[in-house]
Structure 1
Amino acid sequence: MRALDIMTTPVITATTDMTIQAAARRLADHHISGMPVVDADGKMIGIVSAGDLLHRAELGTGAKRRPWWLDWLSSTRDLAATYVKEHGHFVGDVMKDRVISITEDIPLKEIADILERRHIKRVPVLKDGALIGIVSRSNLIRALGSLEPPHDDGSHDDAELRAAIVLEMHGQRWGLPKGSVLVKDGVVHLWGVINTEEEGHAIRVAAESVPGVRRVESHLVYPGVNISL
């Protein structure tokens, strides 16, 4: 799946001359936490989010008054920018003009990586410079919820299941060797020594992810515990 498959369209947008109050109402009315800012030609020039409207003089939520010496150490540029964020009247005063964007053909894995790495909740989708959609974290969650579990026709035998489980763990430092995986009538028995609870969890999930597995029984132990196969 790619951005085109899950993006929201049409996109709720703002303009630079929209008042802060109007922008806040639009965010609230559409139950969104951010929206692109476009110019008269519809070209995206920024983005405004609820975070940009959080510290406002009207609400008494402005930045906490700091000791005079901290203000003295701060640059006038930073002080002026903070004042504008708290007192600006229009979206153009508070929006971010450096915006990360993607194209419609970018895979979902790359989108998830961008959202996580950049600590952002949404990313606009552009085509030939024009705004055509937006992908948010909620779009990715909805895409996940729309997927159906893999269909299993029940034709796997125990040897096939065992081989598939070992293959699923192949290349993982926490994976078990083939001799530590036993399958009987679709029930998987895991034997071996693990160092952490997380390793045991990963091994169990790997076994459960193989279609045809009926149940997983873990006999994994920590170092120093005697086991017998």
Structure 2
Amino acid sequence: MGRILVRKYTPKSEEQIMQAKDIMTKGVVCLNVKDTIFDAAELMLGANVSAVPVINDKDELVGILSEADLVRRVEIGTSPRKSWLSRLLESEAGAAHDFVATHARHISDVMTKDVVTAKEEATLAELVDLIERHSIKRIPVVRAGKLVGVVSRADLLEALLSREPEGPVVRPTDKELRQTVIEALAHRPWVSKWPTNVFANDGVVHLWGFVQDDEVRNAYRVAAENVPGVRRVKNHLRSIPAAVTMGV
């Protein structure tokens, strides 16, 4: 049975690319591959976690166990009920697999063995790609096959929060702010083919003109909101009617 997890977060400056080692949870709660499903349930409830990495006696990562692996159990009457047709068409291998999943006592029989992992040097972009591609909630981080941490979606939210921009020390003049917003909008792939204009007054940016659609209209607003010194954006941009876009 493992240790209580301890969150440790080390923010980086915006100039540096954040990696898994910068945001991962260290001191992760672990299960031993020899533990039972009852050990696992007790540990998950005590540590308030929904999934636990599984290691062997050499501290090597060999699997991961989640709540989903334990909810279909014969002990609590939740094993799947199949229709007579499903049972008729089911193969012997499939039936055997389902029996093990609902009756096995050892976590080695029910855990996921093919675990998606990442190295400490993996960037946050790479981690998010893995999470989305495999539809998972967390990624164990390994060094030479041994578990050194876990990155969850909550860790990514903490990283996002650490990058919340602070207000500028010196507020730019309206002229400087207008020019900065114009530069932030220039050369975007979605930039409008029709005339647009930017005005700034006491930190409030006004956007005027015509754009292709509401998606582009929103993109203009978001780009302006990300410019340091902008207190608020008033979006007066208008979408071009479909008849005009088709040259009618």
Q: TM-score range by the shorter chain?
A: 0.7 to 0.9
Change (3 A) 1:170 1:73: farther
Partner of 1:38: 55
Distance 1:202 1:54, change over 3 A: farther
Aligned pair 1:203/2:210, yes or no?
no
1:156 aligns with one of 142, 164, 172: 172
Of 180, 185, 191, the residue aligned with 2:202 is: 185
How many angstroms apart in 1 are the aligned matches of 2:171 and 2:119? 42
Match of 2:159 in 1: 143
Specify the SS of the correspondent of 1:180. strand
Question: How far off its partner does 1:68 sit?
Answer: 2.0
The TM-score normalised by the length of structure 2 is: 0.81
Q: Per the alignment, do residues 196 and 58 of structure 1 end up closer, same or farther by CA in structure 2, a change over 3 Å counting?
A: farther
Once residues 84 and 13 of structure 1 are traced to their aligned partners in structure 2, the CA distance between those partners, rounded to angstroms, is: 23
CA–CA separation in structure 2 for the residues paired with 1:104 and 1:40: 22
Preserved CA contact (<8 Å) 2:217 2:239 = no
Q: Identity of paired residues, percent?
A: 39
Aligned to 2:109: 93
Report what 1:121 is aligned to.
137
1:155-174 alignment, distance < 5 Å:
155-174=171-190
Tell me the residue number matched to 1:19: 36
Q: Extract structure 1 runs of 4+ deviating beyond 6 A.
A: none
CA distance in 2, matches of 1:136, 1:153: 34
Look up the SS of the partner of 1:211 in the other structure. Answer: coil
Task: Give the Å deviation of 1:156.
Answer: 2.1
After superposition, the Cα gap between the structure-2 partners of 1:21 and 1:167, relative to the gap in structure 1 and judged at 3 Å, is: farther
| Bigger Cα displacement from structure 2, 195-204 vs 127-136 | 195-204
1:4 aligned onto 2:12 = no
RMSD over aligned Cα, in angstroms? 2.2
Per mean C-alpha deviation after superposition, the further-off stretch among 75-84 and 124-133 is 75-84
Corresponding residue number in structure 1 for 2:148: 132
Q: Which runs of 5+ in 2 are unaligned?
A: 1-17, 243-248
Long gaps (5+) in structure 1: none
1:216 aligns with 2:238: no
Which structure exhibits the higher relative contact order, with contacts defined as CA atoms closer than 8 Å and separated by 6 or more residues? 1
Equivalenced residue count is: 224
User: Is contact 2:196-2:210 (8 Å) kept?
Assistant: no
CA contact (8 A) 2:167 2:229 kept: no
What is the CA distance between 1:103 and its match in structure 2?
Answer: 0.6
For the residues of structure 1 that align with 2:133 and 2:237, how far apart are their CA atoms? Answer: 35
Could you tell me how far apart the structure 1 residues matched to 2:78 and 2:203 are?
59
Partner of 1:67: 83
Alpha carbons 1:169, 1:176 under 8 Å: kept: no
